Structure formats: structure tokens, C-alpha cells
């Protein structure tokens, strides 16, 4: 083994031996949970984008003709749909998300997407479109210049109207029921729910707080604060708690990103890829048991309580590429030596 490889292996062994999982941080309740009743609502409508300079729906589109005829008729112009021809317009779906407690006059972003055969919506103008909720009521109207968005990456038939939707109807929300508020965890967990319940009980002596399941904690507002629930909720959300971390490894196979939870561990396993050898622990009966770093083949040994981070570092140290490491992690998980959940995106 070359001196550089030997030095890298020694450093790796020292780091693996000294590895100690850092304590989970204390976070505010508002950062890991929300109140039941406070949620966003989706609205949807049909609109017309104009000014597309020949990039709109084809002139033969029956949907476009009907939409144009309906539009001009609202201004007292009566033209048969069959007589209307334009390549500068496109019929689109308009969607938006109303935030919790949205008020009349608030502005939100709208997304438009072609439902015809238009080739490009960028730069067009969305004419006023009513956005309806699931109950059929109009909660917002959208209008404005259509811009392409970075996340559409070359897709020209989808765009956004930043701040183009105006709220026309207040969004009601009920987050206090019979003087009880329900704090819902974004990531349900028995340990975290118990920690949250205990933190609330400690901060407000005598308060009634119960966790009926791992996703929420029900809190009864004290009688002396029932008239001002907002102030009580502010104090509650400012409490800090230490959430339990999930033993999970998330892999994005397209980008090669690997995100590892600190609780994930690798059990005893030997990995062989071409001339690279990585052994976790000492495998009885293995051809590499008792081997040293002086072997001609690169051999890296890490403790059998090693983290995925150390394991991946060992694989990188022997020169393996990201796509190979991802395949090895999947194989280790199938072999039952990865103590946690492997998620491949």
C-alpha cells in the first residue's frame, strides 16, 4: 500500500475511534410543530394569457375560441366563437395556495400552466382569473405578467405571477376548541411527543397536557389566560425541546447527495469492490480477519459501531466514486447491516 493510502487509513481509524455523536440541539416548539386548524388552502381557476406573439394555442383550438368569446362578451362585444382566431393567447390553469389566516387584500403568488397546445407562456399577461376553493367560493383573483421560474428548467408552458393573486375573502381558521389547542408535530415520534408534553407541563405547572398519539399534544389553556389565547400560544411556541432524531439515510441518486442521520449505524460487514476492501468490525472467518494495513490490497477497518458518515468517509478514502458508494449503501442495507432506514429519491 502506498504511503498516502496508509496515512489516510491511519487518520480514518483515529477519527472512527474518536467518533462521538453530538447531542441533538434544543429547538423551539414552533420549529417542529404547528397548531391544528392553521393550515394552507388550495385555490384553482381557469384563465387566459395574452400577448404571446404567435406562441399561444393554435387558431383551431375550440377551447381558446370559446374562452375568447366568453371574455369579449363580458364587455358587450358579441362575436361568434367560430369567427375568432388568434395565436397570441393561451388557455391556462391558475393555481395558488392561501396561507393560514389570509386576509382580504393580501397578495400571494400564482402559478399558471398551459392546458392547450401553447409553446411558451413566458412574458404573456394573465387576465383576471377567479380562483375558487373546494367549496366553490371565490377566495382570490389573479392577474399579471407571467414569468418563467427556475424550478421549471426549460419548461416554457409553466410560469408564475409573483404577487399576482389578491385575496378577496378572509380565510377563517379555528385553532382553539373548548379552550384546548392541539400542537401537531411535523414529524410524528413517540419520544419527541413525550418530550414536548413534559416540557409544556414543566413550563406551566398545573396545566393539562396530554399526548394521545405520537403526532400531537393536546393542551388546555389555563382559565386565567383563556381571554388572551394568542399570548399563551406565543409562550408555548417559544418553549424549547430536544426532538429525537430519526435513524435515516436519504440518497438523491441523480445529484449524488447523501444525507445521514446521526443515529444510523453500520453493523459488522465486509465490502469488496475491485481492489478496495472496507471491513466494519472483525468478521470471524473472513479472509480479512486480523489483516493489517500493510497488505497489498487497500484495507480499511472501522469499528462495528461506526456511523454511516465514517463508513462513507472510508469508502471515499479508498477512491470510490459517489455512485459506487450509493450502490454499496443499498447493498449493505439489503444485507441487514444498516441499522436505520434507507430512502432513495
pLDDT in tens, 282-293: 544 444 444 444
Beta partners for 182? Answer: 218
CA separation for the pair 187, 204 (Å, rounded) = 24
Of 51-65, 111-125, 270-284, where does the model show the most confidence? 111-125
Higher pLDDT, 310 or 216: 216
Give the model confidence (pLDDT) of 45-94 as tens digits.
999 999 998 888 887 788 888 888 888 888 877 777 777 777 889 999 99
Mean pLDDT of 291-296: 43
pLDDT of amino acid 270:
75
Cβ neighbours for 51, distance < 8 A, ≥ 6 positions apart: 88, 123, 124, 125
Mean pLDDT of 214-234: 90
Angle (nearest 5°) at CA 167 between 165 and 168: 125
Nearest partner of 270 among 299, 293, 249, judged by Cα: 299
pLDDT of amino acid 112:
96
CA separation for the pair 344, 254 (Å, rounded) = 10
Q: Mean pLDDT across the chain, nearest whole number?
A: 80
**Residue 200 pLDDT grade (very low, low, confident, very high; cuts 50, 70, 90):** very high
Higher pLDDT, 279 or 195: 195
DSSP H helices in 147-243: 190-203, 229-238
Residue 7 has pLDDT above 50, yes or no: no
CA separation for the pair 259, 261 (Å, rounded) = 7
Of 133-142, 151-160, 273-282, where does the model show the most confidence? 133-142
* Angle (deg, nearest 10), helices 308-317 and 3-18: 180
Would you say the pTM of this structure is higher than 0.75? no
3-state helix, strand, coil in the chain (%, to 5): 25, 30, 45
Domain locations in the chain? Answer: 3-23+247-344, 41-167, 176-241
CA separation for the pair 10, 293 (Å, rounded) = 9
pLDDT of amino acid 88:
87
**Three-state DSSP class for 132?**
strand
Please state the length of the chain. Answer: 345
Residue 13 has pLDDT above 90, yes or no: no
Nearest partner of 130 among 120, 121, 143, judged by Cα: 143
Mean pLDDT of 205-231: 90
pLDDT of amino acid 216:
93
Higher pLDDT, 125 or 293: 125
Mean pLDDT check: name the lowest of 118-127, 183-192, 333-342. 333-342
Amino acid at each position: 500500500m502506498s504511503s498516502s493510502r496508509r496515512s489516510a487509513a491511519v487518520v480514518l481509524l483515529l477519527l472512527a475511534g474518536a467518533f462521538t455523536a453530538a447531542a441533538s440541539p434544543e429547538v423551539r416548539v414552533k420549529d417542529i410543530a404547528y397548531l391544528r386548524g392553521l393550515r394552507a388552502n388550495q385555490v384553482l381557476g381557469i384563465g387566459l394569457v395574452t400577448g404571446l406573439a404567435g406562441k399561444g394555442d393554435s387558431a383551431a383550438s375550440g377551447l381558446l375560441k370559446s374562452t375568447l368569446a366568453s371574455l369579449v362578451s363580458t364587455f358587450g362585444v358579441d362575436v361568434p366563437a367560430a369567427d375568432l382566431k388568434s395565436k397570441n393567447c393561451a388557455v391556462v390553469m391558475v393555481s395558488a395556495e392561501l396561507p393560514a389566516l389570509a386576509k382580504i387584500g393580501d397578495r400571494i403568488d400564482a402559478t399558471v400552466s398551459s392546458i392547450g397546445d401553447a409553446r411558451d407562456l413566458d412574458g404573456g399577461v394573465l387576465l383576471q382569473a377567479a380562483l375558487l376553493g373546494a367549496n366553490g367560493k371565490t377566495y382570490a383573483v389573479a392577474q399579471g405578467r407571467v414569468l418563467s421560474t427556475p424550478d421549471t428548467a426549460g419548461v416554457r408552458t409553466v410560469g408564475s405571477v409573483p404577487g399576482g393573486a389578491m385575496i378577496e375573502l378572509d380565510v377563517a381558521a379555528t385553532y382553539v376548541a373548548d379552550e384546548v389547542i392541539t400542537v401537531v408535530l411535523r414529524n410524528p415520534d413517540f419520544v419527541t411527543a413525550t418530550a414536548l408534553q413534559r416540557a409544556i407541563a414543566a413550563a406551566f405547572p398545573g396545566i393539562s397536557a396530554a399526548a394521545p398519539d405520537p403526532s400531537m399534544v393536546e393542551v388546555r389553556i389555563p382559565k386565567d389566560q383563556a381571554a388572551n389565547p394568542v399570548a399563551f400560544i406565543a409562550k408555548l411556541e417559544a418553549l424549547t425541546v430536544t426532538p429525537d432524531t430519526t435513524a435515516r439515510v436519504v440518497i438523491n441518486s441523480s445529484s449524488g447527495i447523501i444525507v445521514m442521520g446521526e443515529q444510523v449505524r453500520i453493523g459488522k460487514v465486509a465490502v469488496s469492490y475491485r481492489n478496495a476492501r472496507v471491513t466494519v468490525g472483525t468478521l470471524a472467518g473472513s479472509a480479512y480477519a486480523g489483516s493489517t494495513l500493510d497488505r497489498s490490497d487497500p484495507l480499511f477497518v472501522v469499528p462495528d459501531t461506526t456511523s454511516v458518515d465514517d463508513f462513507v468517509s472510508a469508502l471515499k478514502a479508498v477512491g470510490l466514486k459517489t455512485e459506487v458508494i450509493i450502490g454499496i449503501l443499498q447493498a449493505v442495507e439489503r444485507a441487514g447491516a444498516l441499522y436505520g432506514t434507507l430512502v432513495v429519491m
